[in-house]
Structures are given as C-alpha cells and as structure tokens.
Structure 1
C-alpha cells in the first residue's frame, strides 16, 4: 500500500502545484494554460518513476509497461487498433447526440466551422478565406493521424502512470474489474485542477464538471485499460490517448452556425457520448477481452 499511496500523493500533489499559477491568475484564460496543461500530463509518469525506482526498486521498463513490445507484428497491430478506435468513438458520438437532439450538425456547408474561421481571421484583421470550407474540413480530418502521433508524447506522460503502473498494481491487488473502474475514477479526479476552473465543461458548475470528467474517464479509461491488458504494454493506450486528444475537437467541424455545444450532454465528453463506449466495453467484457494474453510459447531447438 505504501507504493500506491506514494504514487497518488505525488501524481495529485505535483499536478496541483503545476496548476497553481492558473488558480492564482486568470484561470483557463491564463496565457500559460497550454504549457501548464502539458506539464501536468507528465506528473503521473513522474510519480510512477519515483515509486518504481525508490519504493519498489524494480526494473523500470517492465514495471512501467514499456516492455514487452515483441513480436513486432502484434505490437504494430495493436497500435493500429489504438489509433482507429478512439477516433471512431469520437466520431460516432456526434450522430448519437444529433439523434437525441443534443447536437445540430451541418454536413453540407459546415457553417459553424466557417463562422469560427471567419471570426478568427477578423480578430487579426484578415479577410475571409476564399478556399472552399470542405477542403479545410478534409485537411483537418486528415491531420488527426499526425496529431495523434504528436499527442502521444504528452499522453505517454499520463499513460505510464495510469495504465503503465497503476492499472497492473490494482489488478494484482483487487482483480481486473475493480482495477479498471478504480483506475478510471482516479484518472478522472486527477483532472480536478483544470476541470474545476471550467476546462472541458465550461457550461457546467464546477462540481458537475468534475462528476462528468470522472464519468468520462471511467468509461474511456476502460477502453484504454483493454488496450493495455491485451497488448501487454503501455504504448497502445498512449497512442489511443493521443488519438482521442487529436480528434476531440471534431464536433467543431460539423456543428451548425448559431448553435452551441454543451459538452455535458454532447460529444465524447458528454453522457450521450458514453453510450457507444459503454456498449463496446460490455461486449469486450462479455467475450473475455479483459483477460491478459498468455505469453507466446518459446520455440525449443
């Protein structure tokens, strides 16, 4: 238990210290927000490194989920799954919200996206773009893959802690089902320094925003936990986390002009966006996909 409490103390304590300038300054309007948010993402990895090195005194690579990565074909296959699944979940959340009357889309003129672009250009004294907005939408969608790869670097700072070290530690102590749920709850609560300031859920009260973030992290965290358990390493959930972050703003491309998107209800962050991930997790659990894969037998001469 000493290792677990040390990990939680460092990951939560340092994250609050990193976010302190936001609380003492202008909150999420603080210019330092992007830098501090990225720095905060590395606090779970820092906590895991300290615990493994100084408390458990185990080899770092395996204890943090950085190995094994062989056979390479299997490793690359799981990376492919990790890239596709989160983007698909973000995308499917939009028609679900639309059917429920929580999101109004414009898939022809992309009027909301154009409105945003024109406003941004006007703010810097630029003229409206004469490029077809459809071309820009396609470019934005295509950039998700590159964004996922880039975002994997800070995402790895979180995943080394949450799914690299914490999840297996909880599995060993409490079993897989409890570990998946508890690690998701902890992951959600860890976001408090930003969420309580209005990040992610600007239309919700601070308490509701934190509850929603905990729910979101528990649901999506279960998908990331599946990737960790089945792939056998932390690289798949790290790429999935990066892909999720890269695709998270997809709703801005398709929203109709003059409408607002309440992330408490719509998008992958809102309750309607959890429907499909919950169904996926239920299917995975029912088919035994949360059981750790068995090591492949070593060929004997």
Structure 2
C-alpha cells in the first residue's frame, strides 16, 4: 500500500510541476517564446524533484542514493561497458531510423552527398555574410558527429539526469513488481503523458493534432524508455540511462545531415520520433525482454554498500 502511495505522489508532483513550469508558454507565445528553451530544460528536473520528495519525506530509506539509482558504481568495468553502449546506441538507432524511413518512402534521404545538409549550412552561413563552406561537406558531417558526442557527454547529460533520476532511477524499479512488460508500459505511459504540456503546444510533432501527437509520444517513450530501463537495470545505476537519454536528445537532430535538398518530412512518420523510427528499437526491446535481460544485474556481496 505504501508503495502505491509513493508512486501516486511521485506522479502527481512530477506532472503538476511540469504544467506549472510550462504555464508561461501557455499564457504567452508558446514554443516561440524566448523563454521556451530555458523552461523546457527546467521542466526536465521535475521528475527528480518528485523522486526526492518521495524518498526523503515519505519512504525515508536508509540508502537514499541507492533508492534514487545513483549507486552502485561498481563493478567499474560493467558500468563503463554500459555507459559506452548508452552513448553509441541512440546514435545508431537514430541513423537506422532514417534509413528505415528512406526505405519506406517517408524520409527523403541523401546518405551519399549530403545535399540537404550542404544547402542548410550554406543558408546559415549566408546569414552572417559567408559565401563559401569553410571545409568539405564530408568533413563538416564528421564534425557534427564529434559535436554530438561532446554534447551527449558534457552538455545534455545534466538535464537528462534530471529526468532519469525520477523515471528510471526511482520509478522503474518500483514498477518491476508487476513484471517486465507492465513496468515498461506503465513507465512509458507516465513518461509520455508527462510531456503533455509541451507536446500539446506542438513540440516534437508540429502540425499534428494534439491528441495524436500525445499518443505518438507515449508510444515513443514506451519503446525508448524500455531501452533506457534495460541500461539502468543491467548497468546497476541510473547513469547509463541518463547518458542514453542525453545521447538521444543530441542524436534526434541527425536528420539535418541526411535529408535530401529542398525536402521536408512529417515527424509523425519519420526520424526516431516517427512510427518508422520505432521499428528497430521495438525489435531490440522485444529481444531484450524475451532473453530475460530486463532485470537487475546479479549483485555480489562485494558490491553491496
């Protein structure tokens, strides 16, 4: 009973705080507001606030850092291995999502010559009075991947951790009592609906009816949240999930590199946020659960605090 109360309080705090943070957007200019970027980042910390309230004022466990998923950080080899997977996997999935979208005809791709990226880059340079590319387009593409990794490791990681301490650090282990698939589905539903304040304003799915965009976000969060959950459980702490979330946020814009010139696409259909982008992550998640890997890694006595 106490566990159900904790979960209910956590969900209520996270969702209410998210709406409060986003309220200025609803009362003002929406996502075009100059405050939008800062408010979106601030909203990402609301799940951690909710988890801290529950852990420190309701549950009061002896090992609070463990309850939040911040420890253990050993064995170090296992942690490093899952951190490496967490960094690379979202990048691979985002690129594969674009490839699947191209095969299915919903993403206009140019994987060889990067004409769309070149077009976008030239337009951006022209705005500051530069008429020539500073280096070959192939080199610029490579540099974008370097920037992506830097962003994942050092820039996006803090706000991503702000979400993951709540979703995968605290909530997911609480839901595992219902079994792997219910835990994945429930946590995905909660995480997806938590995005409602910005999804209904057009975030991620501009031009899509709000109800449909919210359904798409729930599906997306269920699939990707399941993979983040696997990294959290097998890695032993929330850090791999946080890095994967950070890497995904950085990688979701890779479509700029591979889109064909003079083209556009519907984010409901293509990219990692669209239905064609869910196919490979869903297959991977099904394999993870089917092979019994969606559970905590066995912990030896030496690893106990």
Q: Would the aligned equivalents of 1:49 and 1:60 in 2 still touch at CA under 8 Å?
A: no
Cα deviation, residue 176, structure 1: 2.7
Q: Distance in 2 between matches of 1:45 and 1:128?
A: 46
Q: Would the aligned equivalents of 2:116 and 2:262 in 1 still touch at CA under 8 Å?
A: yes
Q: Distance in 2 between matches of 1:158 and 1:217?
A: 12
The CA deviation string for residues 63-91 of structure 1, in whole angstroms up to 9 with x for no partner, is 10001111111111111111111111111
Q: Give SS of 1:261's match.
A: coil
TM-score (norm 2): 0.94
Is structure 2 residue 169 aligned with structure 1 residue 164? yes
Among 156, 163, 178, which residue is 1:151 paired with? Answer: 156
Q: Would the aligned equivalents of 1:45 and 1:161 in 2 still touch at CA under 8 Å?
A: yes
Q: How does 1:47-86 map to 2 (within 5 A)?
A: 47-58=50-61, 59-86=63-90
Q: How does 1:96-111 map to 2 (within 5 A)?
A: 96-111=100-115
Among 100, 119, 122, which residue is 2:126 paired with? Answer: 122
Q: Distance in 2 between matches of 1:5 and 1:289?
A: 27
Q: What stretches of structure 2 of length at least 5 have no aligned partner?
A: none
Total equivalences in the alignment: 298
Cα deviation, residue 52, structure 1: 0.3
Is structure 2 residue 95 aligned with structure 1 residue 91? yes
Q: Give SS of 2:266's match.
A: coil
Deviation >6 Å, runs of 4+:
none
Q: Give SS of 2:156's match.
A: helix
Is structure 2 residue 271 aligned with structure 1 residue 270? no
Among 276, 285, 301, which residue is 2:289 paired with? Answer: 285
Cα deviation, residue 124, structure 1: 4.3
Q: What stretches of structure 1 of length at least 5 have no aligned partner?
A: none
Distance 1:293 1:17, change over 3 A: same
Q: Would the aligned equivalents of 2:216 and 2:274 in 1 still touch at CA under 8 Å?
A: yes
